[in-house]
Structure 1
Amino acid sequence: MVTNDRKNPLNKIPPLDNEETIDRISNLENEVKSFEIEQKRITKTIKTKSTIMIAVVTMIMIIIAMITTNTLPTYPSKIIEVVYPTTLSSGYVIENLKGEKINTFVSWKIEPDDSFHIHVVDSPNISQKQLDMINDVVFSTEAVNLGGETYYKGWYGALEKSSYNTKFPIPIHYHSIITDTGSGHITIRLTTQNNGDGYSGYTKSQVDEANHQILKSEITIFSVDKLSTEEFKSILRHELGHAFGLAHSQNPDDLMYPEIKTNYPYISPCDVQGIIGLYDGEQKSEIICQ
């Protein structure tokens, strides 16, 4: 029978005796084992390098995320400039336990972890929109960058990092509800009535004069049906400053000026420093902006 060597190349291998066959098979087995060992080593190396590469890429992504988080500004892309069609003016008074008007520095004296109650007095004039605006002024942490300085839209955002180094704890653990009893450290009352003296907002604080301690503050916002959203927020920010113990500022560009004239009525670094100083025993409540 004639065979085709191209189709059957094994015909080219000369015949082998049994011992040679066994040696060849043994050598082949050893080569196969060596190949398998080398293949496993290469596979392990590839997996190790892949794991290292994944770890490196993950670390790079984390670092990029951290850098991005720390360098991107936390300020809103749009700063709202407030233009007032009418003048927003504020009045405030401090009364001792006898009901006498006094002129002195005062602050709250609370424990560091005490809840601080800012309650809204229930009335037919309150809408959900107004409650949302109150919530924003009290709790917002949103900030804006003006002239390279950080201003805040909410008192929590302004004060959350300022209370731990002062002699007296700055109120920071806010709690807010609607009340029909007038309970709370600070109460906010909304009315559609006009104030006889032309005030848009008015704050009355009852104090323990001997200890320069605020016992209760009552805020009234007048003509709420005529105030725009930003006007409402601006005058409430101002009155809360009084309720925390701040007096008026002499700077027309500051939120705590008696008449809100600034087009950026936010809580300034000057206001924050005034609060810190007041609660750190500086014995003054006036806002002095350099």
Structure 2
Amino acid sequence: MTSSTATKKSMNRLKEHLDLMKQELNKTNKQIKQLENKNTTEWKGLDKVDGKSIDDLKQHENDIAKEIVKIQKEIKKSRSKSLLIAELSVLPAVFLLIFMSGITDDLLDSSPENPVGHMKTRYFTENLRGDTVDTWKSWRLTGTTLAVNILKSPRVTDHQLDVIHNAIASEKTVEFDDSIVHKGPKGTTSVYYQGWAGALKSASKEDTKYQVPTDFNFINSSGGEGDIIITLSNIKDSDGYTGYTKSVTEENEILKSFITIYDISNLTDDQLGTIVRHEFGHALGLGHSTATEDLMAPTIDMTIPYISECNVDAMADLYNANEGRQTVCEK
């Protein structure tokens, strides 16, 4: 068995494991919902599901989420290994191409202006496309508005609230050179969105099966009102997470999402805005990206902390009933 075949089989096993974990997460979410709705006639008096209490299920849910992140990292690592094997296989041809192109004349030029030992070099880059963003579940709205309730602690400032509002409701865009994140040669650019409102309005230009949420109604209530509830905590997460999103679902529909941002007093404005964008992406139905520099990567890279064109494409796919799939990035 060749190394490339072994890597491919390993990748397939990881993807199968990932699918199983996602199915288990969906099942656990349903069980939690059953216990949370135990006051209804159907579930009245229900304290456990399959012998597990709601605390047991929530712990199981957290363990599954960690396992999913771990598997996604392994898939990324296996994919990188496959690319390396592919690159090594073409090295002889590249080396021959270098000689045929006359670049060696620059390297070995022994003129007085360029004595041997002072070598000139050239390089080329190849744009390796194919990174993906996972789609999970979507909201099924009759309109285009989601209610967002921000629960703040006493230490949260009005300025921090403005940063959060901007990360969600801004329609501003910014362009970055593709060479910054190795997505293209210097001089080509990509558009990034500073807030989800702008990104979602771009996604809504596609003809999708379900309404893409493009408007947000911010409310300030200490209760459980709202579709997406954001809790701002001064506490550090024991596992080191900066944010956490939990969504209550029914089949492929998101019914409610809960976002927690940790250690908010020690976050810079850029960090806070980026974490909110990332977690809000989960609350809207996106999973993680295999591109390490993407906003939706499992570990957030602050190089370009904004919503990418690939995230927009993934959102359009998701709301066109392509749940539980992967959107392939064009760059």
TM-score range, shorter chain: 0.5 to 0.7
Residue 100 of structure 2 corresponds to which residue in structure 1?
A: none
Structure 1 stretches of 4+ moved >3 Å: 92-95, 100-104, 285-288
CA offsets per residue over residues 163-208 of structure 1, 9 Å max, x none?
Answer: 2521111111210122100211101110110111110010001100
Counterpart check, 1:197 vs 2:239: yes
TM-score of the pair, normalised by structure 2: 0.56
> Residue 247 of structure 1: SS of its match in structure 2?
strand
Q: For 2:284, which of 236, 239, 244 is the aligned residue?
A: 244
Q: Quote the Cα distance in structure 1 between the aligned partners of 2:264 and 2:304.
A: 20
Q: Quote the Cα distance in structure 2 between the aligned partners of 1:155 and 1:138.
A: 5
Conservation of the 8 A alpha-carbon contact between 1:207 and 1:216: yes
1:140-151 alignment, distance < 5 Å = 140-146=170-176, 147=178, 148-151=189-192
Q: Which moved more, 1:238-247 or 1:181-190?
A: 181-190
Larger radius of gyration: 1
Conservation of the 8 A alpha-carbon contact between 1:245 and 1:285: no
Structure 1 unaligned regions, length at least 5: 1-91
> Residue 263 of structure 1: SS of its match in structure 2?
coil
CA offsets per residue over residues 237-279 of structure 1, 9 Å max, x none?
Answer: 0000000000000100100001112411100000010111011
Conservation of the 8 A alpha-carbon contact between 2:202 and 2:312: no
Q: Quote the Cα distance in structure 2 between the aligned partners of 1:177 and 1:205.
A: 19
Aligned-pair CA distance for 1:153: 0.4
1:79-118 alignment, distance < 5 Å = 96-99=29-32, 101=61, 105-111=136-142, 113-118=143-148
Residue 161 of structure 1 corresponds to which residue in structure 2?
A: 202
What is the aligned-residue identity percentage?
A: 37
Residue 125 of structure 1 corresponds to which residue in structure 2?
A: 155
Q: Which moved more, 1:124-133 or 1:98-107?
A: 98-107
| Aligned residue pairs, count | 196
CA offsets per residue over residues 2-36 of structure 1, 9 Å max, x none?
Answer: xxxxxxxxxxxxxxxxxxxxxxxxxxxxxxxxxxx
Counterpart check, 1:134 vs 2:175: no
Residue 222 of structure 1 corresponds to which residue in structure 2?
A: 262
Conservation of the 8 A alpha-carbon contact between 1:141 and 1:154: yes
Q: Let me know the Cα RMSD of the aligned residues.
A: 2.1
Residue 249 of structure 2 corresponds to which residue in structure 1?
A: 207
Between Structure 1 and Structure 2, the one with more helix by share is 2
> Residue 259 of structure 2: SS of its match in structure 1?
strand
Q: Quote the Cα distance in structure 1 between the aligned partners of 2:301 and 2:164.
A: 21
Conservation of the 8 A alpha-carbon contact between 1:200 and 1:222: yes
Q: Quote the Cα distance in structure 1 between the aligned partners of 2:325 and 2:299.
A: 18
